[in-house]
Amino acid sequence: MSPKSNPIRLIASFFTVSVWTLASRVMGFVREIMFASFFGSSATAEAFQIAFALPNMFRRFFAEGAFNMAFVPMFAKKLENGEDAKEFAQNAMANLATILIILTTIALIAMPWFVWATASGFVGDERFDLATDFGRIAFPYILFISLAALLSGVLNALGRFAAAAAAPVFLNIILVAAMTLAYYQGYDVGRALTWGVPVAGVVQLGIVWVAAKRAGIRLMPQMPRLTPDIKKLALIALPAMLAGGVVQVNLLVGRNVASDFEGAIQWLAVADRLYQLPLGVVGIAIGVVLLPDLSRKLSAGDADGGQYAFNRATEFALALTLPATVGLMLVPEHVVSVLFERGAFNANDSAMTASALAIYAVGLPAFVLQKVFQPLYFAREDTKTPFRFALVSMVLNAVLAIGLREYYGFLAAAIGTTLSSIALVVLLYFGTRRLGMEAQFDAGLKRTVPRLFAASLVMGLATYGLGQLLAPYFGQAGIRYAALVVLIIGAIAVYAAACVLFGAFTKQSLRGFVKR
């Protein structure tokens, strides 16, 4: 198949994942808005953030990160070559489940140590006992969500993206429902929210299991077997697990720095939620679609197709990420105050969160481009190179977060995360220079990128000016939502017009882009 024979299908796949991811992020906003309103930056808020972070940290380490980055290319190539992909997936699930059951058992026993390693600043106050209690309730989520991630990888390799992308929406629906019901029934809202986490994991696993069954891949529990394929999977996954561990060490360092400042973990969590919106909608969509697509093309010897997929993914990423970056850097206080400042979340919380958000926004293109560059390595079953680059990033993050803490307080954690992520994407970029032609930038991308930068700059100037004009309305309860909508729509309109003016896109391509 020629590289340009199915561009609509490729972009449509990006959008399928993006739309469902957007739905999940919107529901995530609803969840975080309710959570902030109930708890502000209180001890309960910070304890839950740590308890919820623990299974998610290990999930990214074992499943969505290392394991799936090794599993998906192998599974996709077996599909491409007509081998027994189902048996491989069945055995991979059995081995993963065994590891997760052991890990969960250890975590339930040693939860105080887990909390200490994640937020040592909690020791000696009520946050520590709350986080330990909440952590024991929430941690089993890792078992269900990690198996769901494996099944999502199966579906993605089969080209079926909808169910896997839709499943996370139910996490936020269930958590919102748990808080709402607990509040109106007079129960402990924080504890109800925490119990909602493992329940949501079961629901997500059920959704993707049914979808995989309908796709002809019915995976059932069985005893694990150490086959040659599983040994190969382990050898490929181990460096990726170590690389994932490096990323998690970065998060641990940031949380430990933040835990020394009361309320800072909640401020960073809210800022993280905001910049994760464009990161999730764009970056995750690209990572999910691009890895199996590149794996199949490399297996089929289609270098031209691989190059086309990589370049369009990069173009897609920058087209949506650059304006988000500029907007979040210039008007973070308007976004935070309108969305979160209510109930227990006060003006000081908004100001602290906005400061962290502006710093995170600087690194947003790097966060997204990592999702574009990493599949180039993983599709070749090369997990060692990204691991070495991640080690450099880890050291830089630790030096910055710890070294700058005395000067910038909790913001040192955001500075370390942002600058180390920029360093990582630079290393990944230069590392791709030794790969095949599919890792090379084509003429279309080289022509479009400068125009996207110019359009984003124009949008930024217009957004800042409009924000200044609307500033009096952001403090008025009945009008501030409309003011934010006007600001966002105005920014989008200016950006679209600037893209057409500078020739980044034509009017026809923009209409087709929106229609798809």
Residue 356: pLDDT above 90? yes
Average the pLDDT over 383-394 and give the result: 84
pLDDT band at 507 (very low <50, low <70, confident <90, very high): low
Q: Helices in 139-263 by DSSP H: which ranges?
A: 141-157, 162-185, 189-214, 228-259
* CA 430 to centroid of chain Cα atoms: 23
The tokens describing 158, both together, are: 């089969």
Average the pLDDT over 309-331 and give the result: 85
Q: What's residue 219's pLDDT?
A: 77
Farthest-apart Cα atoms in the chain, separation: 66
Q: How many CB atoms lie within 10 A of CB 450?
A: 11
pLDDT digits (tens, 9 = 90+) for 202-250: 999 998 888 888 877 787 777 878 888 888 877 777 766 666 566 667 7
pTM value surpassing 0.95? no
Q: Are 362 and 411 within 8 A, CB to CB? A: no
Q: How is 462-473 classified by DSSP, letter by letter?
A: HHHHHHHHHGGG
pLDDT digits (tens, 9 = 90+) for 84-131: 777 888 888 888 889 899 999 999 999 999 999 888 889 888 899 999
Lowest mean pLDDT among 97-106, 153-162, 457-466: 153-162
Say which residues have a Cβ less than 8 Å from residue 322's Cβ, sequence separation at least 6: 365, 452, 453, 455, 456
d(CA 214, CA 62): 26
